[in-house]
């Protein structure tokens, strides 16, 4: 479905930008209220629900036994996919995975994979024969803006609570999936000419390009992505990178706190 | 169904493995209006099942060929999340979900006042997040509450319930083991106010007496679930206790 971008909305967003304010009154680097809940789904080996403003996202982790790739006989595998099903909003339609949902899944996948938080060798059961395949499926139920951050957060939170169901597959005792790190994504959207954190649906509708930054525990970059039409300057990146660092530390604390409970 | 006779599903004292009585259903909770992007939505938990439904529309019906000049069409998609079952499900439609979507749509079209919205479409999205037997019924219940939450006029809400047969005994609301190893399953969609039936499927082996008892259980359960549905809508719209 074609979204008609109302000229009035763009004008309003530009006007607000001049006063350094936003449609919902938030500060430029202020995120919406959000909640994180883990282990909320029966049948998933790890699960998480994230509500960020009006965006609702679930992630579930499943395991399967598979034969390793011939060139990596001692390594398991990781797959992360996102589904933007029609349930998520008026603009989503049924059909094969859209380019947007593929981008979403792959950006989240890269952040987790490249952070090295999963030791692929630890997923090996019998070298050359049997390894674990870890599958993270992300289900977007309600898109009211910034699904990337919600999906990234749900995925890592679900992984961090996952139990490897070894007993069910007759390969030992159930145990916690070993995870060394909490990669977190922070996303910025150009709205009214300048970048803001955690854009709402309206801001995305009347905004331009977005930038996604995934940072690991040490503050290192693990995944970057620029999406949609638009360009940015190195100075703009330097500014949002600084914000991303603070944001990721905050969210990481919330994931850790939820894990303790 | 019914191929595994040696699995014990009833305790020696006649009670069920999870301690329920023969005509006792699993606990049900319902919340309306949980998805901000949708015009109407609901989440239903029924035992360990979790179903979410979202309603969009009425909107222009497209592709054009599905349009009806005299009424709205209801476009239902029943989908199980990849992580909703013990073995992961490959994303996408399969024959089972297509069939359930079709009969669910036809059930909902029999209660929604579709004549009010000619040439339009009402989208109903049912997502099963966790499955423990009986998901189609939980989906129907969730869809009904979501339609009501969206303010779409209906003659009645449909309550999804199922009874079945295990060890030659009729029981209400099969759980996973009872569904896997039982002898029959009778899922229905009941209009609690009129006593009519809008959805019916069955597989297995039932005598007429057993069918009648299973239906009796279903109607009893539908009444209980209907109260929970109404309560969820009251909580949403009265802004307080029912």
Task: Please tell me if residue B34 touches chain A, with a CB cutoff of 8 Å.
Answer: yes
Domain range for B209: 28-238
Each residue's pLDDT tens digit, B51-86: 999 999 999 998 888 999 999 999 999 999 999 999
Confidence class for position B139, pLDDT limits 50, 70, 90: very high
B12 lies in some domain:
no
Asked if B83's CB is within 8 angstroms of A61's CB, the reply is yes
Confidence class for position B135, pLDDT limits 50, 70, 90: very high
Least confident of B5-19, B47-61, B205-219: B5-19
Of residues A230 and B134, which shows the higher confidence score? B134
d(CA A211, CA A233): 12
- Contact by Cβ (8 Å): A152, A184: yes
B153 lies in some domain:
yes
Contacts A96 to B, Cβ<8 Å: 92
Of residues A183 and B13, which shows the higher confidence score? A183
pLDDT at A1 over 80: no
B14 lies in some domain:
no
- Closest residue on chain A to B125 (Cα): A87
| Mean pLDDT, rounded, for B184-191 | 96
Q: What are residue A120's phi and psi, to 5 degrees?
A: -60, -30
Confidence class for position A260, pLDDT limits 50, 70, 90: confident
Tell me which residue in A56, A62, A142 faces B83 most closely, judged by beta carbons.
A62
d(CA B197, CA B189): 6
B4 lies in some domain:
no
Whole-number pLDDT of residue B14: 84
Whole-number pLDDT of residue B6: 67
Contacts B87 to A, Cβ<8 Å: 62, 64
Sign for the pseudo-dihedral over CA of B31, B36, B38, B39: positive
The tally of domains found in chain B comes to 1
Task: Please tell me if residue B154 touches chain A, with a CB cutoff of 8 Å.
Answer: no
Write the CATH number for B44: 3.30.230.70
Tell me which residue in A56, A85, A144 faces B79 most closely, judged by beta carbons.
A85
| Mean pLDDT, rounded, for A224-228 | 92
- Closest residue on chain A to B53 (Cα): A87
Task: Give CA angle at A31 (B235, A84), nearest 5°.
Answer: 70
Whole-number pLDDT of residue B242: 44
B6 lies in some domain:
no
B33 lies in some domain:
yes
Least confident of A25-29, A172-176, B237-241: B237-241
Interface test with B, best of A24, A40, A104, A141 (most B CBs within 10 A): A141
> How many CA within 13 A on the CB side of residue B149?
32
pLDDT at B105 over 60: yes
Confidence class for position A6, pLDDT limits 50, 70, 90: confident
d(CA B10, CA B149): 39
DSSP structural state of residue A144: S
Least confident of A49-58, A108-117, A224-233: A224-233
Task: Please tell me if residue B208 touches chain A, with a CB cutoff of 8 Å.
Answer: no
Q: What's chain B's average pLDDT?
A: 93
Asked if A142's CB is within 8 angstroms of B35's CB, the reply is yes
Whole-number pLDDT of residue B94: 87
- Contact by Cβ (8 Å): B81, A139: yes
Least Cα separation, residue A187 to chain B (angstroms): 20
Whether the link from the prior residue into A206 is cis, omega within 30° of 0, is: no
B50 lies in some domain:
yes
- Contact by Cβ (8 Å): A13, A207: yes
Instruction: Name, in order, each residue with C-beta under 8 angstroms of B240's C-beta and a sequence gap of 6 or more.
Output: none
Asked if B123's CB is within 8 angstroms of A142's CB, the reply is no
Q: Which residues of A51-80 are buried (b: 16+ CB within 10 A; e: fewer)?
A: bbbebbbbbbbbbebeebeeeeeebbbbeb
> Tokens representing A189?
């959207």
Each residue's pLDDT tens digit, B157-172: 999 999 999 999 999 9
Contacts A139 to B, Cβ<8 Å: 81-83, 127, 129
- Contact by Cβ (8 Å): B182, B89: no
According to the 3-state scheme, what is the secondary structure of chain B? CCCCCCCCCECCCCCECCCCCCCCCCCEEEEECCCCCCCEEEEEEECCEEEEEEEEEEEECCCHHHCCCCCCEEEEEEEECCCCCCCCCCCCCCHHHHHHHHHHHHHHHCCECHHHCCCEEEEEEEEEEECCCCHHHHHHHHHHHHHHHCCCCECCCCEEEEEEEECCEEEECCCHHHHHHCCEEEEEEEECCCCEEEEECCEECCCHHHHHHHHHHHHHHHHHHHHHHHHHHHHHHCCCCC
The whole-angstrom distance between residue A45's C-alpha and the CA centroid of its chain comes to: 18
- Closest residue on chain B to A53 (Cα): B36
H or E segment to which residue A126 belongs: strand A124-126
Q: What's chain A's average pLDDT?
A: 94
B176 lies in some domain:
yes
Contacts B50 to A, Cβ<8 Å: 41-42
SS3 assignment, position A117 = coil
Contacts A137 to B, Cβ<8 Å: 81-83, 88, 91
Cα B100 to Cα A107, B52, B137, distances in angstroms: 33, 15, 10
Instruction: Name, in order, each residue with C-beta under 8 angstroms of A93's C-beta and a sequence gap of 6 or more.
Output: A1, A86
Nearest Cα to Cα of residue A148 among A190, A85, A104, A91: A104
Confidence class for position B7, pLDDT limits 50, 70, 90: confident
pLDDT at B241 over 60: no
pLDDT at A3 over 70: no
Least Cα separation, residue A239 to chain B (angstroms): 31
**Portion of chain A with pLDDT greater than 70, in percent:** 98
pLDDT at B2 over 60: no
Nearest Cα to Cα of residue A214 among A153, A154, A136: A153
- B67 CB-contact burial (10 Å; exposed 0-12 / middle 13-18 / buried 19+): middle
| Mean pLDDT, rounded, for A77-96 | 92
What would you measure as the largest C-alpha separation in chain A, in angstroms?
63
Tell me which residue in A42, A94, A135 faces B48 most closely, judged by beta carbons.
A42
């Amino acid at each position: 479905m074609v979204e008609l971008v109302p000229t009035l909305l763009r004008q309003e967003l530009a006007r607000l930008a001049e006063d350094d304010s936003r449609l919902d009154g938030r500060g430029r680097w202020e995120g919406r209220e959000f909640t994180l809940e883990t282990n909320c789904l029966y049948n998933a080996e790890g699960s998480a629900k994230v509500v960020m403003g009006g965006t609702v996202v679930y992630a579930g982790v499943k395991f399967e036994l598979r034969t390793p790739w011939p060139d990596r006989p001692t390594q398991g595998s990781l797959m992360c996919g996102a589904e933007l099903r029609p349930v998520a909003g008026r603009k989503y339609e049924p059909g094969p995975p859209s380019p947007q949902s593929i981008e979403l899944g792959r950006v989240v996948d890269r952040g987790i994979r490249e952070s090295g938080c999963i030791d692929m060798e630890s997923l090996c059961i019998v070298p050359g024969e049997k390894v674990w395949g870890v599958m993270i499926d992300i289900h977007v139920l309600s898109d009211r803006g910034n699904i990337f951050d919600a999906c990234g957060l749900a995925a890592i939170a679900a992984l961090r609570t996952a139990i490897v169901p070894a007993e069910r597959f007759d390969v030992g005792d159930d145990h916690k999936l070993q995870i060394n790190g909490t990669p977190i994504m922070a996303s910025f959207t150009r709205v009214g000419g300048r970048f803001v954190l955690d854009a709402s649906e309206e801001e995305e509708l009347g905004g331009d390009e977005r930038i996604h930054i995934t940072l690991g525990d040490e503050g290192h970059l693990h995944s970057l992505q620029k999406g949609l039409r638009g360009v940015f300057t190195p100075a703009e990146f330097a500014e949002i990178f600084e914000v991303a660092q603070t944001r990721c530390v905050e969210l990481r604390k919330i994931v850790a706190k939820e894990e303790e409970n | 169904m019914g191929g595994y006779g040696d699995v014990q599903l009833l305790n020696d004292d006649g009670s069920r493995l999870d301690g329920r009585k023969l005509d006792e259903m699993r606990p049900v909770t319902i919340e309306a209006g949980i998805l901000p992007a949708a015009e109407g939505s609901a989440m239903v938990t029924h035992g360990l099942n979790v179903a979410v439904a979202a309603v969009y529309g009425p909107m222009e019906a497209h592709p054009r060929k599905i349009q009806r000049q005299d009424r709205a069409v209801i476009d239902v998609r029943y989908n199980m999340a990849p992580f909703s079952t013990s073995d992961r499900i490959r994303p996408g439609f399969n024959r089972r979900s297509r069939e359930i979507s079709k009969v669910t749509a036809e059930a909902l079209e029999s209660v929604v006042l579709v004549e009010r919205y000619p040439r339009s479409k009402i989208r109903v999205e049912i997502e099963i997040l966790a499955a423990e037997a009986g998901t189609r019924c939980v989906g129907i219940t969730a869809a009904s509450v979501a339609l009501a939450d969206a303010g779409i006029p209906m003659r009645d809400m449909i309550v999804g319930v199922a009874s079945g047969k295990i060890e030659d005994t009729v029981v209400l609301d099969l759980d996973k083991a009872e569904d896997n190893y039982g002898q029959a399953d009778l899922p229905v969609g009941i209009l609690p106010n009129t006593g009519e039936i809008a959805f019916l499927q069955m597989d297995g082996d039932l005598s007429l007496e057993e069918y009648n008892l299973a239906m009796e259980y279903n109607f009893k359960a539908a009444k209980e679930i209907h109260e929970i549905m109404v309560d969820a809508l009251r909580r949403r719209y009265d802004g307080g206790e029912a």
